[in-house]
Homo-oligomer: A and B are copies of this chain.
Amino acid sequence: MTRFRLRTWIVPLVFAAHPLPGAAQSGANVARAYREAHEAEIVSDFAEMLSYPNRARDTEDITRAATYIRDRLREVGVESRLLKIEGAAPVVYGELRVPDAARTLGIYVHYDGQPVDPSNWTHPPFEPTLYTASMEVGGEPRPLPEPGESVDPEWRLYARSAGDDRAPIAAIIPVLRAFREGGVAPTSNLIFFFDGEEEAGSPHLGEYMERAKEMLEDIDIWLFFDGPAHQSGRPQLAFGVRGAMGMEVTVYGATRNLHSGHYGNWAPDTGNILARLLASMKDDDGRVLVDGWYDTVEPIGAEERAALEAMPPVDADLKRELGIVRTEGEPATLPERLLLPALTVRGITSGNTGSLARNVIPNTAVASLGIRLVKGTEPAHMRQLVIDHIERQGFHVVSEEPDMATRLRYPRIAKVTGGTDGEPAARTDMANPYVQEIIGAATRAADRAFGKGSLVLAPGMGGTLPLYLFTDVAGKPAINVPVANHDDNQHAPDENLRIANLWYAIDLYAALLTMPVPVF
Q: List A residues at the B interface (Cβ < 8 Å).
A: 228, 242, 244, 246, 248, 252-272, 274-279, 281-282, 284, 286, 320-329, 334, 337-338, 340-354, 356-362, 365-368, 370, 372, 404, 407-412, 461-464, 490-492
Contacts and interface: CB of A to CB of B under 8 A. Distances in A.
Contacts of A248: 353-354, 357
Given A271-B345, A272-B279, A408-B325, A368 B352 contact: yes
Contacts of A272: 278-279, 281-282, 344-345
Contacts of A461: 261-262
Given A244-B359, A349-B353, A354-B366, A323 B463 contact: no
A517 to B, nearest CB: 37
Contact of A490 (B242, B255, B259, B329): B259
A325 B261 contact: no
B244 A370 contact: no
Nearest to A374: B265
Given A284-B276, A368-B354, A492 B256 contact: yes
A269 B370 CA distance: 11
A366 B279 CA distance: 15
* Nearest 8 pairs of A and B residues by beta carbon: A271-B345, A347-B351, A261-B463, A323-B407, A275-B278, A264-B342, A326-B411, A265-B342
Contacts of A342: 260, 264-265
A347 B353 contact: yes
Given A264-B370, A349-B352, A362-B346, A357 B246 contact: yes
Nearest to A347: B351
Nearest to A278: B275
B324 A253 contact: yes
Kindly report how many copies of this chain are found in the complex they form together: 2
A327 B270 CA distance: 11
Nearest to A370: B260
Q: Which of A257, A347, A464 has the most CB of B within 10 A?
A: A347
Contact of A262 (B278, B357, B462): B462
A257 B491 CA distance: 10
A352 B120 CA distance: 15
B347 A271 contact: yes
A88 to B, nearest CB: 19
A228 to B, nearest CB: 8
A407 B275 CA distance: 24
B346 A351 contact: yes
Nearest to A418: B357
A188 to B, nearest CB: 30
A358 B345 CA distance: 10
Given A256-B322, A354-B368, A328 B267 contact: yes
Nearest to A332: B266
